[in-house]
Amino acid sequence: MPTYSYSARSLTGQTKIGTQEAASEAELAHTLRSEGFILSSVRTAVQAAPKRSRFRAALPSLRRIPLIEKIVFTQHLAVMIGAGLSLTRALDALSLQTKNKKFAGILKQIGQDINKGIAFADSLAKQPKVFSELYVNMIRVGETSGNFEGALRVLTDQMKKDYDLRSHVKSAMIYPIVILVAMIGIGTIMMVTIVPKLTSIFKELHTELPLTTRVVIGISDFLNQHWLLAIFIVIIATLAARFASKTKVAKNYFDWTILRIPIFGDIIKKINSARLARTLSSLIKSGVPIVQGLRIVSRTMSNNLFIESLENASQEVQKGTSLHEVLAKYAQIYPPMVNQMIEVGEETGTLDEILTKLAEFYEEDVATITKGMSAVIEPILMIIIGAAVGFFAVSMLQPMYSMMEVI
């Protein structure tokens, strides 16, 4: 039988490290479980752990934890807590279950913090890149109110809706992105292979070329003679755009511009409105004060104009102003229905329920729009492609027709 090196943990937090013969890892886990220990890591003793380069060892820390991974974790944790398992035992089981090594390590660290007496929410707050402020605050409210399982279920529902919303938008954008990338790729190939052959013919005939033809030939010559410089320019332009997008002025200008693009601007407004309604509703249901809730929600927005509006709303509501009165000042970014529904919710004292209905309405609306978006985008793409092909054809064929007329 193979010999295994293992580490295990008891329900009281005691760690056990050793080697033992067993027919399989499952049998070893069963044996340790009968002794009151849960197997946490195992490897065959005769096999040394594979050495990894520093680069590969650093990779797990650079990877992000996918949203779907956190949804599954939260959902399973709610089920385990509801079944009566202790939090530490549930975390140990989930750390063994997940295939994401970075996430498994984080869950083990959280379990160790809890064994030291640190609150679950405080331990989660130590991982801001994995667990958002919204997640931490809802867990903290659940721990304080004694409805920990309920808070986990609300969080699961919240993240599922957010995941669905993102999925609808991503699926709608795949088609135009693929078409544009293919168009750029084909255009580059033509510039590098076809245009140089035509250029040599034009040079032999010594004919005067139109401006559009000279532009196409100039681009082709540059790509052929300075292709390394062209790649360098693309990289620098990409990095410069990313850097500029992180500055407040550039981000505000970009967000302001994109909200005014037909179709896309309306979708972004509805996505952010749905996220506002869904998240604020979840926070209010969990017992988070609306002023604090607005601050938390502002950090979940993807558009700076929405972030600034909610930060201002938090300050104004704290002074006693109604939320719908504040949002009425931002009619250019919030659809009229948002302000009207919030006003009804504040007047009737059912703001959380109204916000849930509002979120469902906009989530369904976004799903419907994105499903039919390809039918709208397709003719626009055809116009762009047609214009590009037409420009290239005219630029290359016009000199040929001129030469034929001379002949």
Task: Render pLDDT for 273-332 as a digit per residue (tens, 0 to 9).
Answer: 988 898 888 888 878 888 988 988 888 887 888 989 999 999 999 998 999 999 999 988
pLDDT for the residue 26: 66
Closest by CA position to 363, among listed 254, 259, 263, 279: 279
What residues make up the domain containing 32?
A: 3-51
Domain boundary among 102, 133, 160: 160
What is the mean predicted confidence (pLDDT) over 71-98?
Answer: 88
Q: Are residues 21 and 102 in the same domain?
A: no
Please determine, for residue 8, whether its predicted confidence score (pLDDT) is greater than 70.
no
pLDDT for the residue 344: 92
Whole-model pTM? 0.63
Domain count, the chain: 3
pLDDT for the residue 83: 84
Supply the DSSP symbol for 86. Answer: -
H-type alpha helices, 146-258 = 148-205, 211-225, 227-245, 248-258
The verdict on residue 182 lying in a domain is no
> What's the maximum distance between 2 C-alpha atoms anywhere in the chain?
98
Please determine, for residue 392, whether its predicted confidence score (pLDDT) is greater than 60.
yes
pLDDT for the residue 342: 92
The band of 358, judged by pLDDT with boundaries at 50, 70 and 90, is very high
Measured distance between the N- and C-terminal CA atoms of the chain, rounded to whole angstroms: 90
Q: Are residues 19 and 93 in the same domain?
A: no
Please determine, for residue 96, whether its predicted confidence score (pLDDT) is greater than 80.
yes
Please determine, for residue 340, whether its predicted confidence score (pLDDT) is greater than 80.
yes
pLDDT for the residue 243: 83
DSSP string over 105-136: HHHHHHHHHHHTT--HHHHHHT-TTTS-HHHH
| Residue-averaged pLDDT of the chain | 81
What is the mean predicted confidence (pLDDT) over 215-243?
Answer: 87
What CATH number did the domain enclosing 137 receive?
A: 1.20.81.30
The verdict on residue 58 lying in a domain is no
Please determine, for residue 250, whether its predicted confidence score (pLDDT) is greater than 60.
yes
Cα distances (angstroms) measured from residue 36 to each of 9, 31, 33, 96: 8, 9, 5, 17
The verdict on residue 284 lying in a domain is yes
pLDDT for the residue 147: 79
Please determine, for residue 20, whether its predicted confidence score (pLDDT) is greater than 80.
no
Q: Are residues 47 and 71 in the same domain?
A: no
pLDDT for the residue 341: 92
Degrees to nearest 5, angle at CA 294 with 289 and 297: 120
Strand order in the sheet with 37-44: 15-21, 3-10, 37-44
Would you state the structure tokens that stand for residue 15, as one six-digit string? 């760690």
The band of 172, judged by pLDDT with boundaries at 50, 70 and 90, is confident
The band of 165, judged by pLDDT with boundaries at 50, 70 and 90, is confident
Domain boundary among 117, 136, 160: 160
The band of 18, judged by pLDDT with boundaries at 50, 70 and 90, is low
